[in-house]
Structure 1
Amino acid sequence: MTMPVMEPQLDATTLRSWAQAIDSGPFSSLCWGERIAFDNPDSLTLLGAVAAWTERVRLVTTVVVPQLHDPVLLAKGLATGDLLSGGRLTVGIGVGGRHEDYHAVGADPASQTRRGMAERVAVMKRVWAGEKVTDSVLPVGPPPVQAGGPPLHIGTIGPKTIRDAAVWADGVAGTTLDLDLTRQAELFDIARTSWAEAGKPAPHLATSFWFALGDAAPARAQVHAHLRRYMNWIPAEFVDAMAPTTGWAGNEQELAEVLGAFAAIGTDEVHLIPTSSDIDQVHRAAEVVKACV
């Protein structure tokens, strides 16, 4: 379950309530995404909070963009989150989809590439391995609880990025806009093949989609309103055109059927992305997941 970090008018009480509801439910992971030029919480600050608010669930960034950060500071921040959570952190990594986020922090948009991402991941892995990245007296710490650092999942829907990431990633944390199972199965097959060719264990396979539980028309309207707000860098008429087939809206039985279909193609995890900060959405989804497992 993803935190409602892209919803308006959030406060600490809402975020804490969601984190604790996710932790107490049947969910395997608590996820959150990163943006800069938006009013969502800062990813690393939120990592510290959810590490303190939860005890069981894995904490998954979906995704953090390393080119928007100094890689040494990012490695230190993520290692601190791994320490605070007792080794429950998984780091989704992506290149990001918005130039405005790069401009907001003074990052070079030319680094918004697979190579730029991989170069920064390499630095982070060196930090987590305890190597000195400068001539400092001590290496940059703290050391992560998980040996070698938290697992890294590549956040992408592109086959080239999946193939490239096989050398450094432990899994895939993608997304599906239209819940195309055939397309998703093809990407998972590419990941399995790429990891095998790299001589690595089978990858963790995850995908995500926006969801709204409720009667058909209002649930679809909820998804539409969320997309209008979240996809603010895209002309509104384009968002309106894609909204009827983007994400998922329906009742509990229909969600169970969708989750079962993803399980059937070998999905290890579905990261549900809320389109409302109403905590009833978490509780209703929890009942569906309990029935599925």
Structure 2
Amino acid sequence: MSIGPRAGVSGMGVGMTLPVMEPDITPETLHEWATLIDTGPYSCLSFGERIAFDNPDALTLLGAVAAWTSRVHLTTTVVVPQLHDPVLLAKALATGDRLAGGRLSVGLGVGGRDEDYAAVGADLADRTMADLAERASVLRRVWAGENLTGATRPVGPAPHREGGPELLVGTHGVRTLRHSARWADGLAGMTLDADVSGTDTLFDVARAAWAEAGRPTPRLTTSFWFALAETSADPRGQVHTHLRHYMNWIPASFVDALAPTAGFAGTLAELRALLARFADIGADEVQLIPTSDDPRQVELVAELLD
């Protein structure tokens, strides 16, 4: 599914994630970031979902960023369908797609936090790829106008684009990726340590799995945390502080062991070189995940991409 032109490095799109997982994030800050991203050279504005945390609700935020922006693509990285009624989720995403004029891509994943399932009374037994595939099918059937509820008419609205937004699978795993070739349009990946080689291997698996399933070439995206030396006296420490806050469901000792190599911490020139390496392996898009809410990061990376 084509979703329009992309700006970035060597033909690869570069997206920016809203700082929704930062502590005490304000609507004003989110609005400022969304405006800067929309008016910059970014290929997408992305944001993720958590339940048992103090981040904004992803589906409510989708409506806001659809109104705050007019150009940039919007991507959820990722929504966990098992935490929602699938018909209501289809309605919310179709509404977001209409509000955004068809600028929506939906990353779907099973999630890795038991506490999010517990917070909404979801069944951990549903945290399977088979269940994810079934829920993705429900989304598409609702978007196609099927009446799945027995009501007097199908649940709408229809999405802006016929067939609805593209669906990308959020995963790190090879088995999960192969299973998703049956229903997903591509990969909403994430590399913990900005590993180009490991991402290249995962991309190769995806290409082979989609080909074997007789599907069109998958859209291949990935993401990683970043901190810039130009905006932080201690970028590696900034990543560490962010992870201590964000990864609160994991023992601190594990986070402390991960932090020294997690994501990217360095200069703009080093970031550009890293992005070029992702472009070389055929990434369609890389989404940068901020580790602070300083809007100067959006402006500096925009200058790098221009």
TM-score, length of structure 2 as denominator length: 0.93
Which one of the candidate residues 222, 234, 253 is aligned to 2:269?
Answer: 253
Residues 1:141 and 2:141 aligned together: no
Residues 1:199 and 2:214 aligned together: yes
2:265 is aligned with what amino acid?
Answer: A
Q: Mapping of 1:1-293 within 5 angstroms?
A: 1-214=16-229, 218-290=234-306
How far apart are the structure 2 equivalents of 1:98 and 1:219? 27
Deviation per CA, 1:211-241: give whole Å up to 9, x if none: 0011686011100000000000111111111
Higher-RCO chain (CA-CA 8 Å, sequence separation at least 6): 2
Given that 1:209 and 1:247 are in contact with CA atoms closer than 8 Å, whether structure 2 keeps it comes out as yes
How far apart are the structure 2 equivalents of 1:96 and 1:256? 30
CA RMSD of aligned residues (A): 1.0
How far apart are the structure 2 equivalents of 1:272 and 1:288? 13
State the Cα distance separating 1:134 from its structure 2 match.
2.0
Deviation per CA, 1:198-221: give whole Å up to 9, x if none: 212111100000000116860111
TM-score, length of structure 1 as denominator length: 0.97
How far apart are the structure 2 equivalents of 1:72 and 1:193? 32
- The runs of 5 or more residues in structure 1 that have no matched partner are none
Moved over 2 A (4+): none
Given that 1:213 and 1:284 are in contact with CA atoms closer than 8 Å, whether structure 2 keeps it comes out as no
Deviation per CA, 1:100-124: give whole Å up to 9, x if none: 0000000001111111211111111
2:96 is aligned with what amino acid?
Answer: G
How far apart are the structure 2 equivalents of 1:164 and 1:63? 17
- The runs of 5 or more residues in structure 2 that have no matched partner are 1-15
1:243 is aligned with what amino acid?
Answer: A
How far apart are the structure 2 equivalents of 1:144 and 1:78? 8
Aligned residue-pair number: 290
1:97 is aligned with what amino acid?
Answer: G
How far apart are the structure 1 equivalents of 2:23 and 2:302? 23
Percent identity, please: 64
How far apart are the structure 1 equivalents of 2:194 and 2:20? 22
